[in-house]
Structure 1
Amino acid sequence: MSVHRFRPGDDAFRSAVAAMTATALRPELEWREIPAPSRMAPSAWAATAEIVVHDEELASGRLVILHDPEGQEAWDGTVRMVALVQAQLEPEFAIESMLGDVAWSWVTESLELHGAESRELGCTATRVVSQSYGSLASRPSTVDVEMRVSWTPAGEDLAPHFDAWTAMLAAAGGLPPAPARVAPIAPSHRARAPRSPGSPSTAPSPGE
């Protein structure tokens, strides 16, 4: 049974998604389709992904592509990309006051790198620093970054925008920009995907 929400007759969007998912991606990316959300648009497609290097998950995220053939004023178009990017960074980032600007650069540079022209681009970057005390004081501090990004593709080809999202994941995971079909490269910072609350290896942290 399909996990997607394609409105009957929405062949153009269906074809755009099929072409998008047929493109080659960098080898560190592991992704899969997931059930698309309801009520946000007549048609929708969604996926989740992780950046994995040497069996270590460095970043994770989700992408939802919404399509309304009538268009929506807030989108300034008929298609809207809604992305989530998450990673756990080195403790040194706890004192990095410019982390939000760095996260924003991951977004803009990823779009530019893949020629993904967009409109109405917006991003919220959240940094969560977790420190443990008392009986949990031996646990290391953690720094989680979460980016919620949305934009409207300027053209009908969705592949560059899918690639841009994967590049955002790679950047958050500490990997430099790289074309598809290359060998994994050592991360530039020691990022890893955030662990779920209650995991024995992390302290409890605040919970879109």
Structure 2
Amino acid sequence: MNANAPLPSGFHRALSSLKAARCRSELHFEEIPAPARLAPFAVALGAEIPPEVLGAGQGGSDGVDLATGRFILLHDPAGSAIWRGDFRVVTFIRAQMDAEMGNDELLGGVAWTWLVEALQDHGAEYRAAGGTATRVLSDSFGTLAERGSTIDIELRASWTPADWQVRNHLEAWADMVCSFAGLPPLPEGVSALPGRRF
């Protein structure tokens, strides 16, 4: 974000909307540096679900986060023909899968379905959505050999919100990160108990 430029009213309202989001307590957020060249105005949030969310004896003992991600809101007051609007959400999620699910050829389609359903469930209106899902197989050797093989799923996606009211877009994305971590969906007002992944 250009520190010398005044915030446009639409972007200011969007920031207030993001601050009003109510996301699950398992997800830890922090503001991170926003990309400088994608739009005149941007804000970025990093998120993670640490392994201790599962509780003792439930996995995650290698210290690897259950899921991590980035949520970036871009704003160009002049609008963008490519975005088909003046806001754009750009996201990334990565999570380690168990071998059975990670080897499923349908996993990429499932990840995209989670995104679409999360946006629909939160009433987040959008257009011009696109993305890629990637499975990453990693083998470890030498001093890291005890890690064995791991399979990660990565989802990169972007879409154009219908307007500046982006609270429900962040809430939908946060639920997606929880889905990637294998946390079950929760009704509103219910807290999670330590449990199993997938």
Instruction: Tell me the TM-score range normalised by the shorter chain.
Output: 0.7 to 0.9
Aligned residue pairs, count: 187
- The aligned counterpart of 1:44 is 42
Give me the identity figure in percent: 44
CA distance in 1, matches of 2:119, 2:128: 13
> Helix, strand or coil for the counterpart of 1:130?
strand
CA contact (8 A) 2:13 2:165 kept: no
Moved more, 51-60 or 132-141: 132-141
- Report the equivalent of 2:190: 182
Residues 11 and 179 from structure 1, CA distance in 2 versus in 1: closer, same or farther, beyond 3 angstroms? farther
Correspondence for 1:64: 72
Tell me: CA distance 1:5–1:26, structure 2 relative to 1, closer, same or farther (3 Å): farther
Structure 2: where are the runs of 5+ without partners? none
Task: Name the structure 1 match of 2:104.
Answer: 96
| Pair 139,115 (structure 1): closer, same or farther in 2 beyond 3 Å | same
- TM-score, with length taken from structure 1: 0.80
Alpha-carbon separation, structure 1, partners of 2:132 and 2:25: 28
Structure 1 runs (4+) deviating above 4 angstroms are 132-138, 185-188
**Structure 2 CA distance, aligned partners of 1:135 and 1:162?**
39
Q: 1:9 to 1:128 in 2, by over 3 A?
A: closer
For structure 1, the residue ranges without an aligned partner over 5 or more in a row are 191-208
Structure 1 residue 134: Cα displacement: 8.3
Q: Which moved more, 1:135-144 or 1:106-115?
A: 135-144
Change in CA separation of 1:33 and 1:180 when aligned onto 2, cut-off 3 Å = farther
Kindly indicate whether residue 116 of structure 2 is the aligned counterpart of residue 125 of structure 1: no
Deviation for aligned residue 1:131: 3.2
Give the TM-score of the pair, scaled to structure 2: 0.84
Contact 1:26 1:179 in 2 (8 A): no
Deviation at 1:21, TM superposition (A): 1.3
Q: Is the 2:22–2:171 contact (alpha carbons within 8 Å) kept by the matching residues of 1?
A: no
